[in-house]
C-alpha cells in the first residue's frame, strides 16, 4: 500500500477488505446466469458481455472510454493510434452499447480534442441525434514546450429520438456569488440578497468551468488515472434522468457514474475490466450508504469552484442538518 500524507483522503483498499469487496461485483463468467442487471458492477471485458445485457433498458448511458492516448489503466495498456484505427476501435462496441438505450434515452460520450471528431462520427454513424457538445474546462497535466497545454474535454450529448427525450434544466441550475450587485428601483436585479451573501441563480450553458478534477483532499478521489468528478456526472444524471431511472456505464473505471446514480436515487449498471477499479467502485458504493453528499452540489444547486466557505456558512445556517445533497466543496 502507498504511503499517504496525513490529510490525503484518497480511497484505499486494505488487504483485509479485498475478499469482501470482491463478493460485491459480478465476475464475467457469471454474467450469462444473471437475470437482473439492476445495481450491478460487472468485472469483465465489455466486448465479452455487452450482448448478454438486455437491449432497451437504459434511460441514460454515460461513456468515458479510453481516449486516443497511450495510457496504462493499471496494467491494461491502451495505445495511441491513427484516427482511422481509433474509429475502428469505437466501431467494435459503440453500436452494441447503443442497443441498450431506450428509444427515449440519452447518451453522453466523453473525449478530448484529439479523439472528438471520431466520437462525433461514430454517434452519427449509429443514427443518434447530437443535441449538444459540452466543453468541460479542467486543470490537469503538465504544460508542453511545443504545444498548448490541454485544458478541456468534450462531452457529446446525443439521443435516439430528438422529439422525445427527458431533459430537466431546472435540476442543474448554478449558484454564483454576485460580484457587482446591480439594483433597479432599489431592488436586486436578477440576484438575491440573503444572510449568506448575494447570489445569482443561473441556467447552465454548454461550457462548464465550475468543476475540478478529483484530487487528494477529496474523499471521492481514488488512484484511477482518469477519474471523472462526481459533480460533473451529477449534472448529466440530474438533467437526463428521473429518480428510479436506469443509468448504464460500459467503462466504469472507479465507479463514478454508479456512485452518482445511487446518491441521486437512480439504478445503475457498470462494466469495468480491471479488478482493482471494480473494488474502488464497490467500496465507493458502500460508502454512499452513509454519505450521500456530492461535492459542489448543495441544496439543489451547483456551486462555483472554491466556494467551500460559502457552502459551509449555508450548512451552519441550516441548523446542522445533514441534507442528502450536502457537500463541502
CA–CA dist 314, 300 (Å, integer): 12
CA–CA dist 155, 173 (Å, integer): 18
User: Under the criterion CB under 6 A, does residue 94 sit at the interface with ligand SAM?
Assistant: no
User: Under the criterion CB under 6 A, does residue 274 sit at the interface with ligand SAM?
Assistant: yes
Nearest-approach distance from CB 285 to ligand SAM, in angstroms? 13
Residue among 227, 70, 215, 223 nearest 153 (CA): 227
Q: Pick from 18, 20, 27, 47: which binds ligand SAM (CB under 6 A)? A: 47
Per-residue HEC secondary structure of 97-125 comes to: HHCCEEEEEEEEEEECCCCHHHHHHHHHH
Binding characters for ligand SAM, 66-85, by CB under 6 A (x = yes) = x------x--x---------
User: Using CB under 6 A, which of the segments 178-186, 267-275, 289-297, 301-309 binds ligand SAM?
Assistant: 267-275
Size of the site for ligand SAM (CB under 6 A): 20
Place of cell 441525434: 129
Nearest-approach distance from CB 220 to ligand SAM, in angstroms? 9
Residue with Cβ nearer ligand SAM (93 or 166): 93
Q: What are phi and psi of 71, to 5 degrees?
A: -145, 140
For residue 314, the 8-state DSSP code is: H
User: Under the criterion CB under 6 A, does residue 155 sit at the interface with ligand SAM?
Assistant: no
Nearest-approach distance from CB 192 to ligand SAM, in angstroms? 34
User: Using CB under 6 A, which of the segments 27-35, 44-52, 236-244, 310-318 binds ligand SAM?
Assistant: 44-52
3-state secondary structure of 241: coil
CA–CA dist 155, 257 (Å, integer): 14
User: Under the criterion CB under 6 A, does residue 273 sit at the interface with ligand SAM?
Assistant: yes
User: Under the criterion CB under 6 A, does residue 171 sit at the interface with ligand SAM?
Assistant: no
Amino acid at each position: 500500500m502507498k504511503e499517504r500524507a496525513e490529510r490525503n483522503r484518497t480511497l484505499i483498499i486494505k488487504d483485509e477488505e479485498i475478499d469482501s469487496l470482491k463478493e460485491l461485483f459480478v465476475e464475467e463468467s457469471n454474467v450469462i446466469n444473471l437475470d437482473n442487471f439492476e445495481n450491478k458492477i460487472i468485472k469483465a471485458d465489455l466486448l465479452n458481455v455487452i450482448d448478454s445485457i438486455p437491449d432497451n433498458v437504459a434511460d441514460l448511458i454515460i461513456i468515458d472510454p479510453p481516449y486516443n492516448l497511450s495510457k496504462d489503466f493499471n496494467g491494461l495498456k491502451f495505445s495511441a493510434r491513427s484516427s482511422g484505427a481509433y474509429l475502428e476501435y469505437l466501431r467494435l462496441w459503440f453500436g452494441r452499447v447503443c442497443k441498450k438505450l431506450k428509444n427515449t434515452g440519452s447518451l453522453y460520450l466523453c473525449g478530448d480534442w484529439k479523439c472528438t471528431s471520431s466520437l462525433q462520427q461514430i454517434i452519427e454513424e449509429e443514427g443518434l441525434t447530437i443535441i449538444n457538445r459540452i466543453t468541460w474546462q479542467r486543470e490537469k497535466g503538465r504544460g508542453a514546450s511545443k504545444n498548448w497545454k490541454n485544458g478541456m474535454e468534450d462531452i457529446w450529448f446525443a439521443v435516439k429520438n430528438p422529439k422525445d427525450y427527458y431533459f430537466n434544466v431546472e435540476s442543474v441550475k448554478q449558484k454564483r456569488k454576485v460580484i457587482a450587485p446591480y439594483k433597479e428601483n432599489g431592488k436586486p436585479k436578477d440576484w438575491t440578497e440573503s444572510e449568506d451573501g448575494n447570489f445569482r441563480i443561473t441556467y447552465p450553458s454548454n461550457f462548464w468551468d465550475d468543476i475540478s478534477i478529483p484530487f487528494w483532499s477529496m474523499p471521492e478521489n481514488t488512484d484511477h488515472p482518469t477519474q471523472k468528478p462526481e459533480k460533473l456526472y451529477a449534472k448529466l444524471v440530474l438533467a437526463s434522468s428521473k429518480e428510479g431511472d436506469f443509468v448504464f456505464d460500459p467503462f466504469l473505471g472507479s465507479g463514478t457514474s454508479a456512485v452518482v446514480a445511487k446518491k441521486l436515487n437512480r439504478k445503475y449498471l457498470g462494466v469495468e475490466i480491471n479488478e482493482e477499479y471494480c473494488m474502488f467502485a464497490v467500496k465507493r458504493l458502500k460508502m454512499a450508504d452513509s454519505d450521500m453528499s456530492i461535492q459542489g452540489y448543495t441544496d439543489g444547486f451547483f456551486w462555483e469552484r472554491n466556494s467551500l466557505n460559502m457552502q459551509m456558512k449555508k450548512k451552519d445556517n441550516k441548523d446542522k442538518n445533514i441534507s442528502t445533497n450536502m457537500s463541502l466543496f
